Structure 1
Amino acid sequence: MRFLLRPGWIAFVVAVLAFVVACYTLLAPWQFGRESERDATQRAIDTANETPPVPFAQLVPGDEIDPDAVWRQVALTGEFLPGTETLVRLRTLDAAPAFDVLTAMRLTDGRVVTIDRGSVPAGPNLTLPTYPPAPAGPVTVEGRLRVDETDPNARPPLVENGVRQVYAVDSRSFAEVTGTTPVTGVVTLAENTPGVLRAIPIVVPSGGAPFTNFSYGLQWITFGAVALVALVIFIRLELLQRRGKRESKGSLRDALSGRDQDDDRTPTPHS
């Protein structure tokens, strides 16, 4: 087994063991965690679907939407502030480029809420879209509570042809570009409610059909086990190969020295 102390074998064994450790401590738990998150999100959506809308102030008494209340259906009464409309870039609608439309709504209690009116398809050659304005005057709308998204690239808001644009459905970016002070979080409008465009579908992100994150976690566990078995097989093959070489060298030395013939010679009795 001294061959295992050679640099090449040391590097190989370390690489295999590092992969196995990663499979069992990082990759598989990561996929199982994502599966748990998806299950929790689906349960929250199912619960929200079974619960009728309640007044916004009942679930959001302060200036921030509670993450535990996400997906709950609420009713809001107030007025849209059309001068605050902002487009969210890099969205999709029916697998085609689109924008989301954010608009501030001032509630009867004086608070401002960031409203996602829904999606609109991009114009020709990805130009900015046209869409109907939010209704004027007092109105009651229904929607779902959401927490802010985060742009992974932290891109700042921009203005193109006088149109404000951001890269995430985020009340903080919306506040920065519009100068408002909204409640932290967003309300996405439901279908058939005043001001809605194309309602955002309520779906749980999948782990990649037809497989789920749970199956991917099992795959990483299997990969780790296969790597360990392969390591044992390679070591055993190396041992067998080295043993075979030693035996063949011994046979060659015996043949050259004639010892193999002496061993086969039958002794004769003396008369």
Structure 2
Amino acid sequence: MRFLLKPGWIALTLVVAAFAFACYYLLAPWQFHRSDERDGDNAALTRAVATAPVPRGELVAPGAAPGADVAWRQVTVAGTYRPEGQVLVRLRSIEGHPASEVMTPLVTSTGETVLVDRGYVRTDGQGALPPIPAPPGGTVTVAGYQRLDEGAPTRPAVVADGQRQVYSADAATVGAAGGIATSPGYVQLLPGQPGVITAVPLPPPDPNPSYSYAWQWLIFGLMAIGAWIYFARLEYRREHGLEPRPRDRQDPRDAADGTHWDAQAPSPTEEKLADRYGRR
């Protein structure tokens, strides 16, 4: 199998090995991990609907970041809105339409400041905002879903239509833009709560195609190895003269020993015809 030492075969072997390695040790495991994450998100959404609200302090310590295990849990918070720290999260898509979410700090009775997602307002084709209702004054008790921070955005905060706006629902980012520091995470209000505008709906359950994608990568890796074996075997047979003539190149007039028909001696009939029509 000296042909395997040829530069072309060495390159092909390295490419197939690298692709198979990526399929089995990088791409498929990553998709399996994504599948587990999505299953966890779906389970959290199911719990959010089925579990009654509890005071936020029972799930999240004051000033601490909420853990993944409490994401989407229904919580209640009592306190006073601080509209001077209000910030909008822009460039959101809700039910297929462009929108901005309204984030307003709320100071609880224990002195902690919690960020509250009061819902969303739709923007027009040019991104202009409608009037945003102010939150109610005085002490209120609100219920909503405990959400995790989305992470700091790559773009800085802006001021548009007279509103401070950021690109991520992140408590630290919103707090820096609004000038009021809040605890990590935020509470997304349920419909009918004090101060809610239009409640952000729960996302639909993720269909989670990642599991099938993972198996597809495993199959692709196996196909690459199988193709390499097939072509290596084909080359080996050709190198040792074991490869028969392709069927599409065979001709019924070929001799039984494989001699091509036009290499055989002409028959007497063929010679007479050639003489008659001047072909010889």
Scaled by the length of structure 2, the TM-score of the pair is: 0.81
Compute the displacement of 1:17 (Å).
0.8
> Within 1, Cα distance between the matches of 2:86 and 2:10?
62
Q: Deviations over 1:98-149 (max 9, x none)?
A: 1111111111111111111122211342223333222222211101111110
Q: Match for residue 243 of structure 1? A: 240
Q: Is the deviation greater in 66-75 or in 97-106? A: 66-75
Cα separation, partners in 2 of 1:51 and 1:94, compared to 1, 3 Å: closer
SS at match of 2:129: coil
Question: In 1, Cα distance between the equivalents of 2:241 and 2:148?
Answer: 67
CA distance, structure 2, for counterparts of residue 201 and residue 29 of structure 1: 32
Q: Do the aligned partners of 1:16 and 1:228 also contact (CA within 8 Å) in 2?
A: yes
Give the equivalent residue in structure 2 for 1:77.
78
Aligned pair in 2 of structure 1 residues 137, 12: CA closer, same or farther (>3 Å)? same
Structure 1 residues 85 and 33 mapped into 2: Cα distance closer, same or farther (>3 Å)? same
In structure 2, the partner of 1:201 is 201
Deviation per CA, 1:199-220, whole angstroms, max 9, x where unpaired?
A: 22223663xx5x7111111111
Match of 1:262 in 2: none
Match of 2:239, as an amino acid?
R
Cα separation, 2, equivalents of 1:164 and 1:126: 14
Determine if the alignment matches structure 1 residue 162 to structure 2 residue 162: yes
- Output the amino acid matched with 1:229: G
- Secondary structure of the structure 2 residue equivalent to 1:115: strand
Quick one: which amino acid aligns to residue 29 of structure 2? P
Shift of 1:45: 2.5
Given that residues 86 and 164 in structure 1 are in contact (C-alpha distance below 8 angstroms), is that contact kept between their aligned partners in structure 2? yes
- Kindly tell me: are residues 154 and 247 of structure 1, through their superposed partners in 2, closer, same or farther at Cα, counting changes over 3 Å? closer
Partner of 2:23: 23
Structure 2 SS opposite 1:83: helix
Q: Which runs of 5+ in 2 are unaligned?
A: 246-258, 260-280
The 4+ residue runs of structure 1 with deviation greater than 6 A are 245-248
> Could you say which residue in structure 1 is the equivalent of 2:136?
135
Aligned equivalent of 2:263: none
Q: Is 1:226 aligned to 2:227, yes or no? A: no
Change (3 A) 1:25 1:205: farther
CA contact (8 A) 2:79 2:108 kept: yes
| Runs of 5+ unmatched residues, structure 1 | 249-254, 256-271
Inter-CA distance 239–196: structure 2 relative to 1 (3 Å threshold): same
SS in 2 for 1:102: strand
Segment drifting more, 107-116 vs 53-62: 53-62
Partner residue of 2:5?
A: 5
| Letter matched to residue 36 of structure 2 | S
Contact kept? 2:89, 2:168, Cα under 8 Å:
yes
1:36 aligns with 36
In 2: Cα distance, 1:49 partner to 1:161 partner? 36
> Structure 1 length normalisation: TM-score?
0.84
CA-CA distance at 1:5 after TM superposition: 1.0
Aligned-pair Cα RMSD in Å: 2.2
The one-letter code matched in structure 1 to 2:115 is T
Quick one: structure 1 residues 246 and 69, their matched pair in 2 at CA, closer, same or farther if it must change by over 3 Å?
A: closer
C-alpha distance in 1 between matches for 2:205 and 2:46: 15
- Aligned-partner Cα distance in 2 for 1:81–1:14: 62
SS in structure 1 at match of 2:83: strand
Q: Tell me if structure 2 keeps the 8 A contact 1:87–1:165.
A: yes
Counterpart residue number, 2:277 = none
Match of residue 269 from structure 2: none
Q: Deviations over 1:187-242 (max 9, x none)?
A: 11112212222222223663xx5x71111111111111111100101111112222
Q: Distance in 2 between matches of 1:203 and 1:226?
A: 37
